[in-house]
Chain A
Amino acid sequence: MRRKNDGRATMIQSKISFGALALSCSTLLAACTGVLGGDDKDSEGSGPNGGKNGVSDGTAEDGDSPLGPSGYPDLLNVSGPYSPLAQLTSDEYVTALAQLLDVSKASVEQSPSREALAPDPEAEGLVNAANRQRVTQFSISGYATLTRAIAEEVLAGVNLQGYLDLLACDELGGSTADYSPEMCTRDYGEQLMRRAYRGAFNDTDVEQLDALMTGIDELIAGGDFTQIEALKRRFTSVVELIGLSPKFVLMIEQGDEEPDSEARLLTQQEIANRFAFLLTGGPADEALLQMSEGMDLRSVEGRLALADELLTGNNVAGSVDVLVRWFNIDDRADEASIVKLRAFLQDWIAESRPFSDLYSAPFPVDYADGTEVEEPFGVLGSKAVIASNSSSPTPSFINRGEFVTARLLCAQLPEDLPDAALQEDTPTAREVFEIHNANPCATCHHIFDEYGAALQRFDLDTNLYDPNDDYLGNLFELSPIGDVSGSVSDPAELGAIMGASVQAQTCMTKLWYRYAIRRDLLSKGYDDDDVLRIADEWTTNSDTSLRSLLRIIVSDENFARLLP
């Protein structure tokens, strides 16, 4: 990535509109904090004290930070390079934990303690933006609760022999006569740590493991425990230690040996892990590490080779998950409709279908009369998508319109919304629609209402499709967003325009690029230039499948690089 000379993100002059985002970006840049990913000494703006940013390097040894007028530390008193330290999302944490303990992800997901994990901060469909993540007291508490619970579930009902078999003590101890179950537990724990820490395991970890075992033994000695109870306590504590370890929770990437190098390439294993997290939602397992051994992932060719191996039919579930989250799918969508959506997306990805299919390929639409009809709506025909982006009884064309424009087309609302209020009770959606056409409502609503109106035939309450329901009218003039414009009357026409647009394709590029490098647009060191560069390559490629986009992203130098 090429840093701008002054380190600030700039407004991108391009044919693609990202609206008022640049204003928000430059405002934020002036007040970046360490939690958000560092700051730039050159940026303007003042902190709460009125002083400049970048006063210290943000390390704990730096002495006291200046206090603001509230009496609390100056929040802007952090400087340094970008590259915020990412952490596993709750989903990635679950995947990694399941992998580690060799249990199904579903079993961890279904554990009541899954709820203990603090929800991920979400921004524009992304939950892995490092600059928004933060380990809090509730994160730590949640990790401890979940790992303890899963460890206990793994050991539930296990007797001593079962325990020894579970840990494969015979293999670990080489069938040595004096190899005790306690020693086996310790060695198994070391084995788990080596895998869990993704290459960062070292002698200090061994010392900490041994110190923990000693402490647990002293604790157990003071109580009335059977041998198997004591062993289970040891095991559970080791798993808890791993689950709380920053080496497990944080994505610590250090790159190559040259600290002064701007082109700080990641190591082979670090790149392999990036691949794994991007495409499978979890860390690289043994199979992936072995697969990648013969490929130099620091080269474009190597990364493309691995991408081609991974982007096969059976491996796209992780990518489906990303899109499902991007579409806001939540518990307003019934299970059957989610299954249908996932199947559509699985096919779209695995079969390398063109981008346009996402919004215009045949989709089995649920009709109000109980039938299912294939309509050329793409995901716009998905009951799961519609339901999750509707808000009965509030007129849903508003929510649906916001979803299409802001999420799928990356339009931005004006930052300063005027005070707005309905002057009269407006019981019908049609009346609301008409009122929104007048100021001051139109300032924002004209951007998205018509897009939502094109989806009017999905019932407000049931989200089922009735082709004859034109309660808002029969033709809607879309407010231009990039190259998306025109008059539409139904989801097919809307989907056709979106599917053929550079705007929609670039918006998807934004999602996947940010997901791949774990940043959102508000973080430093990343700006629209990179998205546009990659989008340009994708939109001008004859292959506009998601697979093609992901190949372009992983071959991009930023994917294999640690920002300075």
Chain B
Amino acid sequence: MRTTNNRRLFLQLAAGALTVPFLPLTGRAQDASGKPPLRVLTICDHHGLTGDRTATWTRSETGDYALADDDLKLALAPLAAHKDLMAVISGITMKSRQVLGGSAAHFAVDAQALTGSRGAGDRTGIVHYHPSIDVFLGNFLNEKYGLASPRIYPHVKLAGNFTYGMDGSYINGPNSPLAVHQAIFGGSDTTGLSASRLVLEQVENQLRTIRPELIQANKATVLDAYESSVQAVAREVELRRDLVCEPPTYNSWPGATSQEGLETYFDQIYHMFACDLVSSVTLSFHHQQKYNWLIGDSAAVDAGATLLNLNNHALSHRTTAPAGPTQAMCYRWRNQQLANLLDRLAVTPEIDGSGSLLDNTVIFNTASMTANTHKTDVSYPNFIIAGKNANLQGGQHIDAAGRSNNDLFTTVAQTVMSPTDRFGGFTAGGDDRGDELNAGPIESALKETV
């Protein structure tokens, strides 16, 4: 429970060691059970990684083994410093689509990528009956703290995407650095936040007033969503009001798909975590994201990644070199940003001194298609990175051949101590075929089964 004395000093990251005093006050870190304030970042790429991944991902995708630095190839190499916290999981296929059917088109497989279920509808809109894993985790983690759980999507026009709320409805998230800033950090002064809180209170009153006046049942459902949204924002406002946490500032607002834009997202995520504004964030990338700023990069040249003028969608339709190395270079760049984020989290203390932010952070990196677009019976790249207070056995490669994407989601859920033993498996009509897809968590990835 937050108190008016619950202040967090926002820590300016200096080069090297950081020694800024903080007040050992109650905060997210301390709930009644004393459990750590775990948080999760889900990163989802659309297109996977094509070709022979022994040069671009890990030295081998078969067998379990401990990770050595040089086991992490082109795409994963930037994360070597954190390999002890990392489980690279190979062999997962999009089994939910194989069993439940559905289109192999991007929009449909995207929908299955984080839900493990089949949606109903077409390319302009998918309907689901089960939340996607990131929302599920956000709800689990948020239920104690009531914080925001944004999903950052640069691809505005891509309908039928893969993030679905607790009621199965598609979630649109902020889709540019500016939108993220406004949605998450608010940017308002304390008086403004207090005034907003008063406004929200009256909006809640209004909702309660108009409800009896409306004659149709499903309007009550809409009002429920409205009311819960207002309440969620009101909680957010209250929490922000109590935080001493300067929102990050930027000289300009870059485009969502530019190099600066993507870098800004990672910076914003750091600030969201550091300011305790979120428990769960999802980051995905434009379906046709290009990384052409890497043209001429020495690692790209050495790897023979000569197709950096193409967007990821175009790359994914090619099966032979240099498509694979080129995709891997894109992954590599993103993982460099992720490594930077992990480094910053590692030197930022939790509010109660229980350790660093990284100790309580889980990163789940996945894809929505396998190598060679539209193939869902081929394993696709996944890894989980988790700090020491999370429930992950790091430092290993896990051969999960034969396991489903549903089992992968269950594993991620258990990593943040959610007592989940199955996830997804719903048909387009909402029937539960989870028994055909769920075998439980991948136990070798966990310290313990929750």
Contact = CB atoms under 8 A, between A and B. Distances in A.
Contacts of A457: none
Interface in A478-525: 520, 522
Interface string B209-245: 1110111111111111110011011001000000000
Contact of A69 (B178, B202, B221, B422): B422
Contact of A425 (B159, B175, B182, B319): B319
Contacts of B236: 137, 141
Interface residues of B, number: 104
Nearest to B195: A237
Interface string A218-261: 01100100000000010011001100111101101010000100
A204 B311 CA distance: 55
Interface stretch (B26-34, B61-69, B186-194): B186-194
B205 to A, nearest CB: 6
Given A24-B121, A35-B167, A122-B124, A75 B318 contact: no
A135 to B, nearest CB: 5
Nearest to B105: A417
Interface in B223-269: 223-226, 229-230, 232-233, 236, 253
Given A38-B217, A45-B429, A252-B214, A394 B120 contact: no
Given A69-B422, A141-B233, A208-B206, A119 B172 contact: yes
B174 A144 contact: no
A267 B76 CA distance: 63
A136 interface: yes
Contacts of A330: 157
Nearest to A421: B372
Contact of A245 (B203, B232, B375): B203
Interface stretch (A57-65, A96-104, A278-286): A57-65
Nearest to A129: B125
B182 A135 contact: no
A78 B196 CA distance: 33
A439 interface: no
B103 A417 contact: yes
A318 B122 CA distance: 27
A263 interface: no
A68 interface: yes
A244 B210 contact: no
A122 B157 contact: yes
A21 B318 CA distance: 32
Contact of A58 (B170, B221, B430): B221
A142 B214 CA distance: 25
How many chain A residues sit at the interface, stated as a range, is: 35 or more
Contacts of B120: 24, 27-28, 31
Chain A interface SS verdict (over half): loop
A423 B213 CA distance: 61
B215 A254 contact: yes
Most buried by B among A35, A76, A393, A413: A35
B218 A84 contact: yes
B288 interface: yes
A393 to B, nearest CB: 6
Contact of A80 (B174, B191, B216): B216
Nearest to B418: A71
A246 B227 CA distance: 10
Contacts of A139: 229
A393 B315 CA distance: 10
Contact of B432 (A50, A59, A208, A394): A50
Interface stretch (B10-18, B126-134, B349-357, B360-368): B126-134
A70 B217 contact: no
B169 interface: yes
Contacts of A138: 150, 172-174, 183
A37 interface: yes
B210 A246 contact: yes
A212 interface: yes
Nearest to B174: A138
A34 to B, nearest CB: 3
A144 B127 contact: no
B175 A246 contact: no
Contacts of B186: 141, 145
B284 interface: no
Given A35-B225, A233-B191, A419 B218 contact: no
Given A75-B168, A219-B194, A137 B182 contact: no
B101 interface: yes
A216 B193 CA distance: 11
Interface in B300-326: 309-311, 313-314, 317-320, 323
Interface stretch (A108-116, A306-314, A543-551): A108-116
Contacts of A236: 195
B431 interface: yes
Contact of B104 (A148, A259, A391, A418): A418
B200 interface: yes
A84 B214 CA distance: 12
A79 interface: yes
A121 B202 contact: no
Contacts of B129: 31, 33, 47-48, 75-76
A60 B183 contact: no
A420 interface: yes
B81 interface: no
Nearest to B435: A69
Interface in B95-125: 101-105, 108, 120-125
Given A37-B218, A144-B196, A394-B311, 12 more contacts: A24-B120, A50-B431, A68-B130, A73-B167, A78-B218, A79-B217, A145-B187, A223-B191, A240-B195, A241-B199, A419-B375, A425-B319
Interface of A: 21, 24, 27-28, 30-31, 33-38, 45-50, 57-60, 68-70, 72-73, 75-76, 78-85, 112-113, 115-116, 118-124, 132, 134-142, 144-145, 148, 200, 204-205, 208-209, 211-212, 215-216, 219-220, 223, 233, 236-237, 240-241, 244-247, 249-250, 252, 254, 259, 328, 330, 391, 393-394, 406, 412-413, 415-425, 520, 522
6 closest A-B pairs by CB: A80-B217, A34-B221, A38-B218, A116-B182, A215-B198, A123-B124
21 contacts: A24-B122, A30-B429, A30-B430, A31-B428, A31-B430, A34-B217, A35-B167, A36-B127, A76-B430, A119-B175, A122-B124, A123-B125, A132-B170, A136-B229, A138-B150, A145-B183, A246-B203, A250-B226, A330-B157, A413-B122, A522-B125
Interface of B: 101-105, 108, 120-125, 127, 129-131, 136, 148, 150, 156-157, 159, 165-176, 178-179, 182-183, 186-188, 191-192, 194-196, 198-203, 205-207, 209-211, 213-226, 229-230, 232-233, 236, 253, 288, 309-311, 313-314, 317-320, 323, 372-377, 422-423, 426, 428-432, 434
